[in-house]
Chains A and B, each alone.
Chain A
Amino acid sequence: GAVVSQHPSWVICKSGTSVKIECRSLDFQATTMFWYRQFPKQSLMLMATSNEGSKATYEQGVEKDKFLINHASLTLSTLTVTSAHPEDSSFYICSATGTSGPSYEQYFGPGTRLTVT
């Protein structure tokens, strides 16, 4: 149980275009989802926290107009990278916590590799 999926697993897009990444909790309801970004050989950097039905809370230094997060249901959160540029190329990972059971365990998705050319 407690599986989180991401789609797509990798994507290549041209500079200036927008890309949407989906994060789904497959077998549980996720009240809170987190989005991280990870550059090669570096740690995960938290970008934002999203709760179902409310606006996401962004970490300092993360542009909310560039990284649009929507958490429309208890099983789906989306991250849209708008007007992507090569420096946005990274590994994007989401995680989720459930509405029941131990809340200390975040379940992570497999990640999405974004390459902007």
Chain B
Amino acid sequence: LAKTTQPISMDSYEGQEVNITCSHNNIATNDYITWYQQFPSQGPRFIIQGYKTKVTNEVASLFIPADRKSSTLSLPRVSLSDTAVYYCLVGDVGGSYNTDKLIFGTGTRLQVFP
């Protein structure tokens, strides 16, 4: 399981774009990159997942360079409600019915100010 490294915390203001980068130098060929969001006293919530290049959904974009040793979660125009902890996880969970355990790193505590 590849270890991930993220900034401990980040601050932003409402309306700004926030980019959180995660390093995973030992990512394996079969590993996917997944990001989760967690609010206090709640379970994590899936945000986005990708294998390479760029993935975009209704809430975020995920940028993965060709070497896949890092990834960047991009949150466009954050609001106060985006204040949460964001976790980057790497694991071999891409195959059908192939379930690998997810190991959570320290996460990034994002604080959005008005």
Contact = CB atoms under 8 A, between A and B. Distances in A.
Interface residues of A, number: 26
B95 A43 contact: no
Nearest to B106: A43
A44 B86 CA distance: 12
Nearest to A40: B40
Contacts of A107: 46
A46 B99 contact: no
Nearest to B96: A103
B81 interface: no
B29 interface: no
B41 A34 contact: no
Interface residues of B, number: 26
Interface in B3-50: 32, 34, 36, 38, 41-46, 49
Interface in A79-93: 91, 93
Given A95-B43, A104-B32, A110-B43, A43 B105 contact: yes
A107 B45 CA distance: 7
A108 B44 contact: yes
Contact of A93 (B43, B49, B101): B43
Interface of A: 4, 6, 31-32, 34, 36, 43-46, 49, 91, 93, 95, 97, 99, 103-111, 113
Interface of B: 32, 34, 36, 38, 41-46, 49, 87, 93-99, 101-107
Given A46-B102, A91-B41, A104-B93, 7 more contacts: A31-B97, A46-B101, A46-B103, A93-B43, A103-B96, A103-B99, A108-B44
